[in-house]
C-alpha cells in the first residue's frame, strides 16, 4: 500500500516536497538536509522571489517572472526536488506539484534569535546603529516578529494556516524546537525511509 505522505508515488517516482513556515523556522536548513539525505535537488523560494542585488533582498522580482523561473527550475529536476521557503499566495499555481508539504514552526523568541544571528553573520557591523544596513535589518526583524499576529495579507501564521487548508496533498506539521537532525529522522521515519 503506498504511503499517503508520498501520495501517488512509488519508491522510484520523483519526490516533490515543499517546506514552509515563518522566517527563522528552519525551512532552508532542513530543506537542504532533507534534499541531501534523499539525493534530491534543493531549491529555495528566495532565489526566485528576489531580484539579484548587493546587498540581497532589496527588490522583489515581478510575479509572472518568478513563477516562470521557479516552474522551469522544478521541471528541470526530473529526479525530484525539495523546495524551501514561502510561496503562499504568489506560488499557488504550483501547489498541484507537491507530494507533501512540511510546515515548520518554532516559538517567536527562538525565530527572532536565529534571524538576528543570521543578520549579524550576513552583514556584520553594518547592522549596528549608524551602519548601512541598520534600518533595513531592524525593519526586517520587526516584520518577522509580526508573523504570529499578522493577518492573511502578509507572510503570517494566519496566511499559512489558510493556505495549508487548500494544499491538495498531505501536510506534515513540525511545531517544536527539535534539532535539524531530529526533525530529519522524524520525517524519514514517517516515510519509512532508512
From residue 186, give the alpha-carbon distance in Å to each of 134, 164, 193: 38, 20, 10
Cis check for the bond before 91: say yes or no (omega within 30 of 0): no
Please tell me which residue, 100 or 1, carries the higher pLDDT value. Answer: 100
> Grid coordinates standing for 95?
501547489
From residue 14, give the alpha-carbon distance in Å to each of 26, 91, 123: 24, 20, 38
- How sure is the predictor about 13, in pLDDT bands with cuts at 50, 70 and 90? low
Which residues, at least 6 apart from 164, have a Cβ–Cβ distance to it below 8 Å? 101, 103, 171
> Grid coordinates standing for 124?
556584520
The third-level CATH classification (topology) of the domain covering 14-189 is Rossmann fold (3.40.50)
pLDDT tens, residue by residue, 53-62: 988 898 999 9
CA nearest to 100, candidates 32, 36, 16: 16
CB 123 within 8 A of CB 55: yes
Backbone Cα Rg of the chain: 17
**43/151 Cα distance (integer angstroms):** 27
**19/100 Cα distance (integer angstroms):** 9
Q: Is the pLDDT of residue 8 over 50?
A: no
Q: Within 13 Å of residue 4, how many CA atoms lie on the same side as its CB?
A: 5
Q: State phi, psi for 100 to the nearest 5 degrees.
A: -145, 140
pLDDT tens, residue by residue, 62-96: 999 999 999 999 999 999 999 999 999 899 999 99
Q: What is the DSSP letter of 182?
A: H
Per-residue model confidence (pLDDT) at position 4: 53
pLDDT tens, residue by residue, 147-182: 999 988 888 999 999 999 999 999 999 999 999 999
CA nearest to 183, candidates 33, 3, 38: 33
Per-residue model confidence (pLDDT) at position 28: 97
> Grid coordinates standing for 45?
523560494
Q: Is the pLDDT of residue 1 over 80?
A: no
Amino acid at each position: 500500500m503506498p504511503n499517503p505522505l508520498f501520495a501517488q508515488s512509488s519508491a522510484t517516482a520523483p519526490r516533490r516536497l515543499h517546506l514552509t513556515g515563518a522566517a527563522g523556522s528552519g525551512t532552508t536548513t532542513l530543506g537542504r538536509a532533507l534534499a541531501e539525505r534523499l539525493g534530491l535537488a534543493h531549491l529555495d523560494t528566495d532565489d526566485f522571489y528576489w531580484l539579484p542585488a548587493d546587498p540581497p533582498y532589496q527588490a522583489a522580482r515581478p510575479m509572472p517572472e518568478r513563477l516562470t523561473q521557479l516552474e522551469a527550475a522544478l521541471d528541470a529536476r526530473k529526479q525530484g526536488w525539495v523546495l524551501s521557503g514561502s510561496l503562499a499566495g504568489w506560488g499557488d499555481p504550483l501547489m498541484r506539484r507537491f507530494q507533501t508539504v512540511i510546515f515548520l514552526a518554532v516559538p517567536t523568541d527562538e525565530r527572532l534569535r536565529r534571524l538576528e544571528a543570521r543578520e549579524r553573520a550576513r552583514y556584520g557591523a553594518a547592522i549596528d546603529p549608524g551602519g548601512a544596513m541598520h534600518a533595513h535589518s531592524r525593519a526586517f526583524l520587526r516584520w518577522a516578529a509580526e508573523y504570529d499576529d499578522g493577518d492573511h495579507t502578509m507572510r503570517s501564521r494566519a496566511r499559512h494556516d489558510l493556505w495549508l487548508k487548500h494544499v491538495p496533498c498531505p501536510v506534515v506539521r513540525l511545531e517544536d524546537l527539535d534539532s535539524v537532525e531530529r526533525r530529519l529522522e522524524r520525517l524519514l521515519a514517517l516515510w519509512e525511509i532508512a
